[in-house]
């Protein structure tokens, strides 16, 4: 029964600090829940196109983009933000 460890990049930390308090708290709770799952992909949506290999965590109107490292049992939060803007850099 292996659990994943969640790490937050410096960029994602900056993103989270700029979010409204309720959104930041909602994402933090979702991060904690992810760490308890054996297969975090159950709660994540795979991204497509240029972002293939990355995953999205949804909480209300806010999203976090993550990368999964199965060999290290690690989840890396790359960025966080509002759903209207977070996907722009990944569009083809």
9 three-class SS:
coil
**What is the model's pLDDT at position 12?**
98
Domain boundaries, the chain: 5-90
Fold of 5-90: YaeB-like fold (3.30.2310)
**What is the model's pLDDT at position 19?**
98
Q: In what order do the strands lie in the sheet with 45-46?
A: 5-8, 74-82, 62-69, 54-59, 45-46
91 three-class SS:
coil
Phi, psi of 3 (to 5 degrees): -110, 150
**What is the model's pLDDT at position 29?**
97
Name residues whose C-beta falls within 8 Å of residue 86's C-beta, 6 or more positions apart in sequence.
56, 63, 65, 79, 80
**What is the model's pLDDT at position 15?**
97
Please give the average pLDDT of every successive group of 10 residues along the chain, which has 92 residues.
88 98 98 93 94 95 97 96 91 68
């Amino acid at each position: 029964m292996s659990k994943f460890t969640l790490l937050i990049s410096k960029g994602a930390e900056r993103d989270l600090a700029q979010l409204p308090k309720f959104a930041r708290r909602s994402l933090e709770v979702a991060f904690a829940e992810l760490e308890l799952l054996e297969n975090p992909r159950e709660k994540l949506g795979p991204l497509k196109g240029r972002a293939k290999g990355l995953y999205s965590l949804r909480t209300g109107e806010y999203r976090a983009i993550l990368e999964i490292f199965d060999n290290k049992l690690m989840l890396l939060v790359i960025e966080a933000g509002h759903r209207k803007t977070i996907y722009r850099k990944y569009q083809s």
